[in-house]
Amino acid sequence: MPRSTLSLGRVQELLPSPMTPEALVESLFSSKAEVEGREGDRLAVSVTPDRLDLLSEGGLAAWLAGAVGAARGIVPLRRARARGLGMRVETSVGALRPHLAGVVVRAPTGKRLDESLLAEAVRFQEMLHATIGRDRRAMSLGIYPARRLVGPIRYAAEPLASVRFVPLHGSDELPAARFFAEDPMAARYGSLGLSGESCLTLRDGTGALLSLPPVLNSANAGEARVGDRVLLLEATGTRERSVREGLGLLLVVFASRGWSLQPVPVEHANGAVDDGASLVGVRTVELEAATVRSISGEAWAASEVVERIARARLSARRAKGGWKVAVPPWRGDLLTGVDVAEDVLLAREVKAEVGIVPPSPTRGRRRPETAFRRRVGRLLLGLGFQQPHTPVLVSEASVQRLSESGALHLSNPVSRELAYLRDRLFLSHLEVLERNTRHGYPQRFAEVGPVVVRSSDAETGAATRYHASALLAGEGQGFAEAASLVDYLLRALDVGSVREPAELPGTIPGRAARVRVAGEPVAEFGEVHPKLLVEMGVPVPVVWAEVDLSALWPLTGGRDTA
């Protein structure tokens, strides 16, 4: 889970009244965030990947204010005054990072960018780089001093030879080629902004270099400083959704402290212009009453749904069949009504002590039928059989060997090696035998596992059953060994049986049998036909026995077999 260390004091100062650390931990139980530790003012918080906004002091405080009832609805999205600052995307960036978006944020009257807010924004920016940005591959963010810039901002790929750069952490101007060759940041991220002998650049209308995306800002026009009142936030990337989501998340840092927002229009090389209004506005997600009812298992009063939505720092209004829910820019995780319904349930303050575990026949112990199958497995292990683990899918070649097999063919198999659902473990065990001809004999292996058989009673036309199967390969193996194995298993389970001759696929005629209990067939065994052994390259006799445990279990009377 994504994790970050926040300032407890900065969270507290955004709340109407301070919360004790214990109350904060308890409130977060109903969120997707968790306090992992605290040391003085440092609060270690982890979140689920869909609630990255809670990894900023502003985002976490906004949620807590709703959880304790001190605030309702979306954090106010104040609009800043337009300055005419625009952005232009050149055709040359298309091969590397074609997407660009920007928002100008302005401090409230009497406020400025302080050291703590700048540190929060930069730390959260790096968190977004590592998560949504996929280590800056999909998206990267920049923070710039908007008052010192002249529009339009030009995003282009320029020849390295024409670019000189003062890194944010340096003081000397360097040729771009030298920066990319020597700087540690360029060593890590440089390849993301290079194409042949060109590199990505952001310049303002005077030609001042803001940054080399997605590597580093410049120390001149690209450095946001304590005391700035107006900032430009921009995002570039390979995916438009990542660019918009990352920029939207960064806005929560400033919006939660009353900064106003102004979208920056982006002009593309083909002449199209995106005014960016959707970056700073709310969007609407429809929530149906039926969705809330189906997820929660109960009908909710409309007033309670609206109230819980407001506590989740969203806003709702009634619509036909449900509600239209307004979502802020930093909640990119809310895409459908199901997502919103989850927030509604969390806002109901679910707590550990109100959870009720429904009655279940499996709580605290295994089902008797499972214990029965495990006992058969232990019996086979005690007889010295190796226990392979084979998949329920078998190859077309294995099924063709047993021409009368009832194995079910998949309609769209991934390969001929996994084309059928086995109806008996015998098919899988022949494959095991064929793959192990390089090993010495005798070979003895047995397994308890699932098979799939045709069933007219099942909705899908097939049913899963459990079998126990054993294969014995070695000199002197014959019908008697297989018969004695089946007799032993049934006696150990205290079951009487009757044996009858049978013609079974893959066995020698006259050297195979079927076993019945109370008239129901529960087992088959026999000697494997020499023709099959020759095809598989097996040089010794082989016998096989298989018991249908799903058929045998009801005939044991449900006795305790653990």
- Say which CATH number the domain at 486 has: 3.30.930.10
Q: Can you tell me the mean pLDDT for 482-503?
A: 92
Higher pLDDT, 410 or 247: 247
Cα–Cα distance for residue pair 453/429, rounded to 1 Å: 17
pLDDT at 363 over 70: no
Instruction: Verify that 258 and 375 share a domain, yes or no.
Output: no
Q: Is the pLDDT of residue 52 over 90?
A: yes
Q: Which of 125-129, 245-249, 340-344 has the lowest mean pLDDT?
A: 340-344
- Which three-class secondary structure state does DSSP give residue 441? coil
pLDDT-based confidence at residue 299 (cuts at 50, 70, 90): confident
For residue 562, pLDDT beyond 70: no
pLDDT, tens digit (0-9, with 9 covering 90-100), for 444-475: 999 999 999 988 888 788 899 999 999 999 99
Residues 12, 51: one domain?
A: yes
Predicted confidence at residue 104, as pLDDT, reads: 94
**How many structural domains does the chain have?**
4
Structure confidence at residue 415 as a pLDDT band (50, 70, 90): confident
Judge if 222 and 252 occupy the same domain: yes
The confidence score (pLDDT) of residue 442 equals 93
Is it the case that residue 560 has pLDDT exceeding 70? no
Residue 355 — very low, low, confident or very high, per pLDDT cuts 50/70/90? low
Instruction: Verify that 172 and 258 share a domain, yes or no.
Output: yes
Same domain assignment for residues 219 and 240: yes
497: containing domain: 368-555
In three state form, how does the secondary structure of 288-329 look? EHHHHHHHHCCCCCHHHHHHHHHHCCCEEEEECCEEEEEECC
CATH code for the domain of 164: 3.50.40.10
114 and 231 share one domain: yes
Write down the pLDDT at residue 202: 96
- How far is the C-alpha of 449 from the C-alpha of 461, rounded, in Å? 20
Query: How does pLDDT run across 87-127, given as a tens digit for each residue?
Result: 999 999 988 999 999 999 999 999 999 999 999 999 999 99
Residue 1 pLDDT: 80
Tell me whether residue 505 is in a domain. Answer: yes
Does the residue 358 lie in any domain?
no
Both 379 and 409 in a single domain? Answer: yes
| pTM (two decimals) | 0.65
pLDDT band at 366 (very low <50, low <70, confident <90, very high): confident
Q: What percent of the chain has pLDDT over 90?
A: 70
Let me know whether 241 and 114 are in one domain. Answer: yes
Average pLDDT over residues 197-224: 93
Question: pLDDT value at position 349?
Answer: 63
Could you tell me if residue 208 is inside a domain? yes
Burial class (CB in 10 A: 0-12, 13-18, 19+), 126: middle
And the tokens for 390?
């084979």
Structure confidence at residue 413 (pLDDT): 83
- Confidence tier at 561 by pLDDT (50, 70, 90): very low
Within a domain: 363: no
In a domain, 149, yes or no: yes
- Strand order from edge to edge, sheet including 520-528: 443-454, 462-473, 542-548, 520-528, 507-517, 498-501
60 plus 182 within the same structural domain = no
400 band by pLDDT with thresholds 50, 70 and 90: confident
Residue 273 sits in the same domain as residue 291 = no
> What is the average per-residue pLDDT within 59-70?
90
Q: d(Cα 237, Cα 140) in Å, to the nearest integer?
A: 6
The pLDDT assigned to 360 comes to 67
Domain contains 509: yes
Mean pLDDT of the chain: 90
Same domain for 297 and 405, yes or no, is: no
| 402 within 8 A of 377, measured Cβ to Cβ | no
Residue whose pair of structure tokens reads 């901002």 in the numeric block: 153
Instruction: Quote the percentage of the chain above a pLDDT of 70.
Output: 95
Residue 559 has pLDDT above 60, yes or no: no
Task: Provide mean pLDDT across the span 158-179.
Answer: 90
Residue 217 maps to a domain: yes
Please check whether residues 99 and 50 belong to one and the same domain: no
Residue 252 resides in a domain: yes
pLDDT of residue 136: 94
pLDDT value of residue 557: 65
At which of 15, 39, 67 does a domain end? 67
Tokens read off for 458: 């099942």
Count the neighbouring beta carbons within 10 Å of the beta carbon of residue 29.
Answer: 15
